[in-house]
């Protein structure tokens, strides 16, 4: 099975490389090797590799920076998705694509199903939603995997930020009124490989949009509390800072975040037999790996 991976140097991209099926032929490109916003680059690389499956882990994910750098955010998240979908369709190749809970405005409960109408309230969220629409319109064989609050061993993420700030400060103020599901990059990569293997086995797949995120639901404050509790137990840190719960209005950011972006994982479990990940267990694995790397 020949698989082309974009965004190979990102959080999920690196986990995809680490967990790829050993007998498969993987062609992986970071943004330096393949800029997905360049249609000709995309077409040239796909024609050269002739993949049987494409996994797009490339994205512009700097949520706040996107508000002032919208041209680049749309170039990667919208035009990049369009370019990959066009190239994939031209060789009749399936495209697996990662999207986000930020396509929703976070003003509704209960958890968002795949049928909920996107209403992004940030440039990042809108650029990802535009990318989704391009893929669904162009590429017949596609899986769009919406996920949330991604963390892992590689790249920059909330877990690493908390550990760094915890060593630098005695007290931290953490937003407690944004609710979601932390999701490890490793579990996302595993879910994508499960989908890929189902496709290889069946020469098809129930194509469409799926939600995949970690459980249980929590706030950023809850997440931070668990990070420090586990890190202290593993003796990864020597100091647990005092945590103060604050509201989103107490911590204004350039981009508006969804207040409630819990994703319903029923569809992916029923149609693809992929279980929701337990983020606390995944967090423990990340922290143990960081400890071993010290």
- Residues designated as active site: 124
Give yes or no for a contact between 100 and 128, defined as CB atoms under 8 angstroms apart.
yes
Q: Which of 169, 140, 145, 149 is nearest to 217 (CA)?
A: 149
Is the distance from CB of 150 to CB of 128 less than 8 angstroms? no
CB proximity list for 178: less than 8 A, separation 6 or greater: 106, 219, 220, 248, 257, 258, 259, 260, 261
Length of the chain equals 294
Strand-pair category, 183-184 with 150-151: parallel
Strands 218-219 and 179-180: antiparallel
Q: Which residue has the tokens 């086995």?
A: 201
Residue 219, exposed/middle/buried by CB under 10 A (0-12, 13-18, 19+)? middle
d(CA 115, CA 209): 9
Residue 80 and residue 41 in contact, taking contact as beta carbons nearer than 8 Å: no
């Amino acid at each position: 099975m020949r698989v082309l991976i974009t965004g190979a140097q990102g959080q999920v991209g690196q986990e995809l490389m680490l967990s790829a099926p050993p007998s498969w032929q993987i062609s992986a490109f970071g943004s330096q090797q393949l800029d997905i916003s360049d249609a000709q680059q995309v077409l040239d690389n796909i024609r050269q590799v002739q993949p049987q499956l494409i996994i797009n882990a490339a994205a512009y994910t700097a949520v706040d920076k996107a508000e002032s750098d919208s041209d680049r955010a749309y170039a990667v998240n919208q035009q990049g998705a369009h370019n990959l979908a066009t190239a994939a369709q031209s060789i009749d190749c399936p495209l697996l694509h990662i999207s986000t809970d930020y396509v929703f405005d976070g003003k509704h409960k209960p958890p968002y199903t795949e049928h909920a109408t996107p209403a992004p309230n940030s440039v990042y969220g809108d650029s990802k939603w535009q990318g989704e629409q391009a893929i669904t319109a162009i590429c017949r064989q596609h899986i769009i995997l919406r996920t949330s609050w991604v963390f892992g061993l590689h790249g920059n993420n909330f877990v690493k930020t908390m550990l760094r700030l915890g060593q630098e400060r005695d007290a931290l103020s953490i937003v407690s009124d944004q609710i979601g599901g932390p999701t490890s990059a490793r579990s996302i990569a595993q879910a994508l490989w499960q989908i890929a293997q189902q496709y290889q086995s069946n020469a098809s797949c129930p194509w469409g949009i799926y939600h995949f995120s970690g459980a249980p639901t929590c706030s950023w404050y809850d997440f931070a509390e668990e990070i420090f509790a586990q890190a202290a137990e593993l003796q990864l840190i020597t100091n647990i800072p005092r945590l103060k719960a604050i509201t989103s209005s107490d911590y204004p950011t350039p981009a508006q975040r969804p207040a409630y972006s819990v994703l319903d994982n029923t569809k992916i479990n029923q149609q693809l037999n992929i279980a929701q990940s337990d983020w606390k267990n995944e967090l423990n694995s990340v922290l143990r790996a960081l400890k071993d790397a010290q």
